[in-house]
Amino acid sequence: MTTQDAPASPVKPADIDFSPRRKSRGFWSEALRDLVTRRRSGQVGLIIVLSMIAVALLAPTLATHPPNMVLIGKEEGVKRRQPPCIHAVDNLPSLPIVDFFRCEPGQPEHYFGTDGNARDLYSRVLFGARVSLKAGIYTVTLAILVGMVLGAVAGYVGSFTDNALMRILDVVLAFPSLILAIAINSALLTVADDSIFSRGLELMQRVFGFEDIGLLTALISIAIVSIPTYARLVRSQVLSLKEQEFVTAARSIGARDSRILFRAILPNAMAPLIVAATLGIATAILDTAALSFLGLGAQPPTAEWGAMIGAERNQMFTSPHLIIFPALAIVVTVLGFNLLGDGLRDSLDPRMKNR
């Protein structure tokens, strides 16, 4: 900390050297270092998550075809539900995994085959990373923003406000989450073309950059359903932090409630919230995929992994590649966020230090 940043205080003993002997790292960079160097699950998770983000960003470059283009009539010899075909493996020895991608010479090359509408599956799976990551991150952001405010207010104000807010959240928790999400989603879909609600939806569509209204309503419903988790977490943190001495200190120098809450308490409640958010992204991706699989979330032609599996689920026995690739994409992505969350939990927990 340089002297310019320090709060102006009346007494400044300039002759005393406060600089620490060893350059100390902050809590966050310490935790990040711990995660990258010592947590095996954190390392694997971080690598998976970063590569998924890379895939999402580079999807237009990596893709071989436009994801929504029906190739019939545009490409010689293309068929619906064509099995995977990579000509580079033609000369490799026969192995089950290699044979899976082998095909007749002259057949158009599609790394993961084509789907029921003769679209390139590989390109769709790549673009699916964009949809799923966006859905996961937006859902959790939305849920945390609301949950954090509710939980912080409940925990800080206490008494009647706390009781009232928590009972309302209890009701949301009383529903099995996916079923409530389904119910909210189908209700939202019916209002999508009506009054103020549709204006709100349109606004969110523009803010989030989503064309697919079904995906947007799915995202909102999953966010609503997961608000209580974050609200409870923040509340419990606030409850224990507000008794701490630094809060009393802040109050004694005359800080306003909002300042105490947002500048003193909440920053200290961040660590468990970040862990919950990372694990929450995994859950949100799973739930979005589940809703889309049921036909409620992403609508055609959006390339969403769950929707891709849902559309072709009856072809499992004849064209398993249509299920395998989107399924692998979901599993790997969700696994990545789960591992990263586990690693973060260990790294951010002071008790786990040196373990």
Binding site for other proteins (CB under 8 A): 41, 167-168, 170-172, 174-180, 182-184, 186-187, 190-191, 194-197, 282, 286, 289-290, 293-296, 306, 309-310, 313, 316-317, 320, 323, 327, 330-331, 334-335, 338-339, 342
The span from the CA of 105 to the CA of 298, in Å, is: 36
Q: Residue 157 or 323: which CB sits closer to other proteins?
A: 323
Minimum distance from CB of 136 to other proteins (Å)? 13
Residue number, 78 or 184, with CB nearest to other proteins: 184
Closer to other proteins by Cβ: residue 69 or 204:
204
Please name the residues in contact with 265: beta carbons below 8 A apart, sequence gap of 6 or more: 152, 156, 237, 238, 241, 242, 247
- Give 25 or 313: the residue with its C-beta nearer to other proteins: 313
Min separation Cβ 159 and other proteins, Å: 17
Question: Nearest approach, Cβ of 31 to other proteins (angstroms)?
Answer: 20
For residue 104, what are the CA distances in angstroms to 75, 85, 94, 109?
Answer: 16, 8, 14, 10
Residue 173 CB, shortest distance to other proteins, in Å, is 8
Question: Which CB sits closer to other proteins, 146 or 335?
Answer: 335
d(CA 217, CA 194) in angstroms, rounded, equals: 14
Let me know if 70 is exposed, middle or buried by CB neighbors in 10 A (0-12, 13-18, 19+).
middle
CB 125 within 8 A of CB 325: yes
Whole-number minimum distance, CB 110 to other proteins, in Å?
21
Q: State the nearest-atom distance from the C-beta of 316 to other proteins, in Å.
A: 5
CB nearer other proteins, residue 108 or residue 320: 320
Nearer to other proteins, 98 or 316 (CB): 316
Tell me the closest approach of the beta carbon of residue 53 to other proteins, in angstroms: 17
Of 157 and 168, the one with the shorter C-beta distance to other proteins is 168
Q: E-strand spans in 145-244?
A: none
Q: How far apart are CA 308 and CA 124, in angstroms?
A: 9
- Whichever of 176 and 267 has its CB closer to other proteins, that residue is 176
Q: Are 274 and 344 contacting, i.e. CB atoms less than 8 angstroms apart?
A: yes
Closest CA to 129 of 297, 329, 335, 339: 329
Expressed in angstroms, the distance from the first to the final Cα of the chain is 30
Cβ–Cβ under 8 Å, residues 189 and 182: no
Least distance from C-beta 282 to other proteins, angstroms? 7
d(CA 94, CA 336): 32
Q: In whole angstroms, how close is the CB of 320 to other proteins at the nearest point?
A: 6
Query: How is 52-106 classified by DSSP, letter by letter?
Result: HHHHHHHHHHH-SS-TT---TTTSTT--TTPPPB-GGGTTS---HHHHTT---TT
Q: Is the peptide bond before 301 cis (omega within 30 degrees of 0)?
A: yes
